[in-house]
Amino acid sequence: MQKIPESIEALLAPVVTAAGYRWVGGEFRGGPDGLLRVYIDRPEGITLDDCTVVSDAVSGVLDVEDPFPGFYRLEVSSPGLERPLFRATDFAEFVGRVARVRLRRPIQQRRRIEGEILGVEGEQIRMQIAAEGIEIAFAYEEVERANLVFDFGDAKRDRPARRASN
């Protein structure tokens, strides 16, 4: 899957926003089993009904504009626990969290990086590779794919303690 072109994002993001949701990003895979995946969010989280509302709204625009040749399926989804990071601003929003990044070409002899997001300055992203204690910086344009890494430890700490029942 690859990020959708900016022209398609410019077409669909206002539709998602007008429906009352936050545009997170989109991905597209062409071919005989084509797929357009649109990610939406809101503070209360996303339900199946939310996905249906956005799917209906986006489908109408896609039917009129027909931006992709051939057959494809539309999928509207929440970004999930390991949410994709589509822009440098997404990295900035999640400073302090762990992300997994695949780069277009190696930087410091690495194409795959997993570590803590330290900060973002403009389009420049800084991360700490925890396993090695190395700090690495790269331009967002070098990112092929990126997503947060869900930390099960944080989830356990965020959950209320259960009482033992007799």
Asked if the structure places residue 164 within a domain, the reply is: no
Instruction: Please give the tally of structural domains in the chain.
Output: 2
Task: Examine the domain organization and report whether 121 and 71 are in the same domain.
Answer: no
Task: Examine the domain organization and report whether 11 and 53 are in the same domain.
Answer: yes
Residue 154's pLDDT is: 57
Average pLDDT over residues 129-136: 87
Residue 88's pLDDT is: 95
Report the b/e string of 69-85 with b at 16+ CB within 10 A: eeebeeebbbbeeebbb
Determine contact, residues 27/80, Cβ cutoff 8 Å: no
Range of 140's domain?
88-153
149 against 33, higher pLDDT:
149
pLDDT digits (tens, 9 = 90+) for 51-82: 999 999 999 999 888 887 778 899 999 999 99
Which residues are registered as beta bridge partners of 101? 113, 146
**Burial class (CB within 10 angstroms; exposed 0-12, middle 13-18, buried 19+) of 117:** buried
Task: Examine the domain organization and report whether 60 and 14 are in the same domain.
Answer: yes
Residue 153's pLDDT is: 67
Asked if the structure places residue 117 within a domain, the reply is: yes
pLDDT > 70? residue 117: yes
